[in-house]
Chain A
Amino acid sequence: MTAALDVIGLCKSFGGVRAIDNVTLSFPSGSLSAVIGPNGAGKSTFFNLISGAFTPDAGEVRVEGRNIAGLSRAEIVRRGIGRAFQVASIFPTFTVADSLYAAVQSGQGHAERLVGRFPLSGARARAHEVAEMLGLADKLHRVASTLSHGDQKLLDIAIALVREPRILLLDEPTAGMGPEERWRMIEKVRELWERQKITVVFIEHDMDIVFRIAPTIRVLCYGRVLAEGTPDEIRANPAVIEAYLGTAHEGAAA
């Protein structure tokens, strides 16, 4: 398997904090993997660097072999990277349908078009397809801000999917959800991965979910790669147990 995404020697500091410290990771094409790590480990920063929200201090991000580090967010989207956010990033006053139509027209280069009316008829098919894919088809006319927390997270993913990314980065898709809703969400993610045959990387705090869903796991801690491997390997790794699982259990007990 060739790598869809290669991160090489990536570094990013904020003031004195080394949020990402010489991280090298490879994500095979069509893989589903989880990134885990304690709070403040640098997971979101890792996604921000890949997707162009921040420019790396050093290192490369290669998509299908080509370096994209330092490109604009828009250009990186064009290279096939889509992302959803830890806090659902949606358009609060838009309906679900309009959010998706607007996302489609941006992808088609019609964002600044003054001719014609929104929504353009050419946007409907793709928007409805994506809504269907994420189970939002019956909520097309709901205003985004009135959706449940879980549906807002789904809409966030749907907005990213409109652009047909080949690599999808999901920052804590289950954040803020109850146990049952978490499982529903993560099943959706897995289904998406299977059906779309894209590379999916997700950040997740719930160990049950991670071990059950992700064939490969990467552990970040203080900005560094602490371990990578299969669920069994990660579970047995002493460094992980000490640095992460230990604190997670304390956290659960507290």
Chain B
Amino acid sequence: MGAPSIPRALAIGAVAFVALVAAPLATGSTVLIDFVIRLSALAIFATSLNLLAGYGGMVSFGHGMFYGFGAYCFALMMQRTGVSIPVAFLTTVVGAALVSAIIGAICVRLKEVYFSFVTLAFQMLIHAIILAAMPLTGGDQGLRGGVPRPVFLGVDLSNQMQLCVFSAFLLVASLLVMHHVVASPFGATLRMIRDNAQRAAYLGVAVDRVRLKAFVIAAVFAAVGGVVQALFVSGAYPEFAYWTMSGEGIFVIMLGGLTTFLGPTLGSVIMLLLNDVVTRFTHYHGLVLGIVILVAALGLRKGLGDFVVERLADRRRQEAA
């Protein structure tokens, strides 16, 4: 499986970007516009979790904390400091890197289920801090009053159409960067550690350091997803940093597939569609989602993306034979 060269990846990204914004731009439909923005937030988040869990073997139950961190950090910067959007964005990214480096330094040494539990514990801590810091965060009411969006470089994010284009751009850029990470020599080392950390150590790999770097990269992109979400809802809510957010990320990955890079993006599309369609017909949308996941997990035994990719590979092999 040859990874595409960088110019080719950029070309694919450009096509994807156009495809994402074409329908909303052409129709002006608010449903489509909102869909692309929500998709961007969720798919960036889920792909970042997959980088950690699927490629790195680190199944974090607390990845949502960085999504929440991104949303709050960005929204607060915009509300309280009057900086421009790019500055708030960069500050959020750097902040997420620092916070995740500290949390990761503790977590990445832990193996398997201990890693999962301790990330979950940190998430509960962050969630509790958000609830407790009432004057700053609005506590359980969430951060209200709207997120100001001063125009930058001619971009006006208070215009929903422009926000849609901006979100799609962030989605494509994030996917390109994360794909590059996964396809780089570093990405191979990360998969090596997932497969057999002891063997990797015998080859001279600094296992914990590689795991920490992956943890930080994933956290940064989770925060980017949080920024998009904060712009979409014009605020931030404690649920963004709650364990259900991490759970949703894992659901999405399971739906879409964890061995295919675009699996979590596909899973995000399915998840949002299910949400929208199912909530229109029934109040039991959690039940329906649960059944869908069970069918995917027990029936296909993999995510939809994995299933499709494997089928295609089988076909190609048969044609070659």
Contacts and interface: CB of A to CB of B under 8 A. Distances in A.
- Co-assembled chains A and B: yes
A125 interface: no
Contact of B186 (A83, A94, A114): A114
B173 interface: no
Interface of A: 51, 53, 73-74, 77-78, 83, 89-94, 98, 101-103, 105-107, 110-120, 159-160, 162-163
Interface in B150-207: 180-181, 183-189, 191-192, 195-196, 198-206
Nearest to B198: A89
Contacts of A113: 184-186
B203 A110 contact: no
A99 B4 CA distance: 20
Q: Per DSSP, are chain B's interface residues mostly helix, strand or loop, or mixed?
A: helix
15 contacts: A74-B206, A92-B195, A92-B196, A93-B191, A93-B195, A102-B203, A103-B203, A105-B189, A106-B192, A111-B186, A114-B180, A117-B184, A118-B3, A119-B188, A163-B203
- Nearest 3 A-B pairs (CB), nearest first? A118-B188, A91-B195, A74-B204
Contacts of A74: 201-206
Nearest to B199: A89
Contacts of A107: 203-204
B184 A116 contact: yes
B57 to A, nearest CB: 10
B199 A118 contact: no
Contact of B188 (A89, A105, A163): A105
B70 to A, nearest CB: 22
Interface in B190-248: 191-192, 195-196, 198-206, 209-210, 213
A118 B196 contact: no
A94 B195 CA distance: 9
A107 B192 CA distance: 14
A159 B188 CA distance: 15
Instruction: Give the residue among A77, A90, A92, A117 with the most B Cβ atoms within 10 A.
Output: A117
Contacts of B181: 114
Q: Most chain-B CB neighbours within 10 Å: which of A102, A107, A120, A162?
A: A102
A78 B192 CA distance: 19
Nearest to B5: A117
B196 A101 contact: no
A77 B188 contact: no
Contacts of B189: 102, 105-106, 111-112
B210 A112 contact: yes
Interface residues of B, number: 27
A118 B202 contact: no
A162 B213 CA distance: 26
Given A53-B198, A74-B204, A114-B184, 5 more contacts: A94-B191, A107-B204, A113-B184, A118-B183, A118-B185
Given A106-B204, A159-B203, A112 B186 contact: yes
Contact of B185 (A53, A78, A120, A162): A120
Contacts of B202: 51, 73-74, 77, 83, 89, 160
B187 A118 contact: yes
A90 B199 contact: yes
B197 to A, nearest CB: 10
B221 to A, nearest CB: 14
Nearest to A83: B202
A114 B213 CA distance: 11
A212 B5 CA distance: 53
Nearest to A95: B1
Interface in B98-155: none
Of B183, B186, B196, B202, chain A has the most CB atoms within 10 Å of the CB of B202
Contacts of B199: 89-91, 159
A104 to B, nearest CB: 9
Nearest to B182: A118
A105 B204 contact: no
B223 to A, nearest CB: 19
B203 A112 contact: no
B200 to A, nearest CB: 7
A122 to B, nearest CB: 10
- Most central of A91, A116, A160 by chain B CB within 10 Å: A91
A158 to B, nearest CB: 12
Contacts of A103: 203
Contacts of B201: 73-74
Contacts of B185: 105, 110-114, 116-120
Contact of A102 (B5, B183, B188, B209): B188
Contacts of B180: 114
Nearest to A52: B202
A191 to B, nearest CB: 23
A92 B186 CA distance: 18
B306 to A, nearest CB: 13
B205 A106 contact: yes
B192 A102 contact: yes
A111 B205 contact: yes
Given A106-B200, A106-B205, A115 B195 contact: no
Contacts of A73: 201-202, 204
